[in-house]
Amino acid sequence: MDFPFPFILCDIGGTNARFALKSAPDAPLLPGPPVKTADYGTFEAALAAAVAVFGAKPRSVIACAAGPVEGRSVKLTNAGWSVEGEAVARELALDQGLLLNDFEAQALSLPALREDWTKPVGASPPHARGTRLVIGVGTGLGAAALVEVEGRWLALPTEAGHVDFAPVGVDEAAIWPHLSIGALGRISAETVLSGSGIARLHQARCAALGHGPSPLDEIGVVAEALATPGGEAARTLAMFWSLVARCAGDLALDFLAKGGVVFSGGVLPKIAPFLDETKFRARFEDKAPFGELMTTIATRLVVAGDVVLPGMAAIAVTPSAYVIDYAARAWR
């Protein structure tokens, strides 16, 4: 497999789409301006706008998108775009292209993750060999695992954000009946652990406390919490972190992620002031009878910008280092 230069990398989320250009193997990654997904009717239109900004016609494109990928196609879960890789290749006269699920790409990017792009969460143990897990909270909740197979990297994408998510303990049990479940008719992990989930959780907490309905969206909840660190919005964000820790601990057990858990996505760095690292680790490790095992699993938070773009660039530069079914998934 070969991805001829120059190539464009695309990170397509439910809210934002980000682009970067790499013109040669040793050239720096040139980021383009992020765009709002809702501002463009199609991925092709947004990509054409990025190409115009870069002023260089790409020969290859590697894109990741927030939705389940079927071969060369994806329908975004939380936005109106559908991406058909072969159609994009024809329209732009590309030599090659590849489409990845967003958290498949996040997992494949872990080997390229620099130490200074992350910070430990709590008293984390040193890095260890084994399955790695990446979890991201943004427009939705995503997760994927990474394993090493005969010296190459294989990603295991999931739809973990859509599994049922039940309350644990008296505090959560009091809140759950007040959660707005929306069109799905059930409470999934993503119902609470997402950008909109912050507002949903805050409204449920206010209702459980007997307060009036909260008019705040997730941005408003964060703003109020920052303005009033001792208020209810701040307590909502503290509970949010506790739920993230609980969910992450469950997923770490699911995958036996001895290689550690990395937290990415746009939401968590913004609410880091409300993270109690000691309580986070206690909740993450509270998985009897495997509490001792959980103490050996490192947890780290990505604090740099969109690290998936340099991660995908590494795939394009050395595609043989990754276990990807290029024959079934490449656009040409």
Q: Are strands 132-137 and 73-75 parallel, antiparallel or unpaired?
A: unpaired
pLDDT for position 77: 79
Residue type present at position 15: T
CA distance 156 to 108: 9
C-alpha to C-alpha distances, 261 to 41, 253, 302, 309, nearest whole angstrom:
35, 11, 11, 20
Residue 128, pLDDT above cutoff 90: no
Q: Kindly indicate the confidence band of residue 34, based on its pLDDT and cuts at 50, 70 and 90.
A: confident
pLDDT tens digits along 136-194: 998 889 999 999 999 999 999 888 999 999 999 999 999 999 998 776 789 999 999 99
Tokens of 241: 């972190």
| pLDDT score recorded for residue 228 | 96
pLDDT of the residue at 186: 92
Q: Confidence band (pLDDT; 50, 70, 90) for 11?
A: very high
What are 332's two structure tokens?
Answer: 């040409």
What SS3 class is residue 219?
helix
Average pLDDT, the chain: 93
Q: What are the Cα distances from residue 166, in Å, to 196, 198, 202? A: 18, 16, 17
The model carries a pTM of: 0.90
Residue 277: per-residue pLDDT: 97
pLDDT digits (tens, 9 = 90+) for 213-222: 889 999 999 9
Q: What is the pLDDT of residues 224-267, one digit of tens each?
A: 999 999 999 999 999 999 999 999 999 999 999 999 999 997 89
Each residue's pLDDT tens digit, 261-315 = 999 978 999 999 999 999 999 999 999 999 999 999 999 999 988 899 999 999 9
Give 266's strand partners.
none
Helix, strand, or coil here: 9? strand
**Could you tell me the pLDDT band of residue 83, with boundaries at 50, 70 and 90?**
very high
Q: Residue 6, class by beta-carbon neighbours within 10 Å (0-12 exposed, 13-18 middle, 19+ buried)?
A: middle
C-alpha angle 144-85-27 in degrees, rounded to nearest 5: 75
Position 240 scores a pLDDT of: 98
Mark 249-265 as b/e (b = at least 16 C-beta within 10 Å): bebbeebebbbbbbbbb
Question: Which residues, listed in sequence order, are joined to residue 63 by a DSSP beta bridge?
Answer: 10, 99
What is the C-alpha separation between 73 and 51, in angstroms, rounded?
21
- Check residue 126 and give its pLDDT: 77
Ordered DSSP codes for 111-169: GG--GGGEEE-SSPPPP-SS-EEEEEESSSEEEEEEEEETTEEEEEE--GGGSB----H
Name the residue among 306, 332, 330 with its Cα closest to residue 69: 330
C-beta contacts of 148-156 below 8 A and 24+ residues apart = 149/323, 152/320, 152/321, 152/322, 152/323, 153/108, 153/111, 153/321, 153/322, 153/323, 154/322, 154/323, 155/104, 155/105, 155/107, 155/108, 155/322, 156/107, 156/255
88 with 47: CB under 8 angstroms? yes
Report the pLDDT value the prediction gives residue 86, as an integer from 0 to 100. 94
Please check whether residue 202 is in contact with residue 214, taking contact to mean a CB–CB distance below 8 angstroms: yes
Q: How many residues are there in the chain?
A: 332
Nearest to 271 by CA among 243, 313, 294: 243
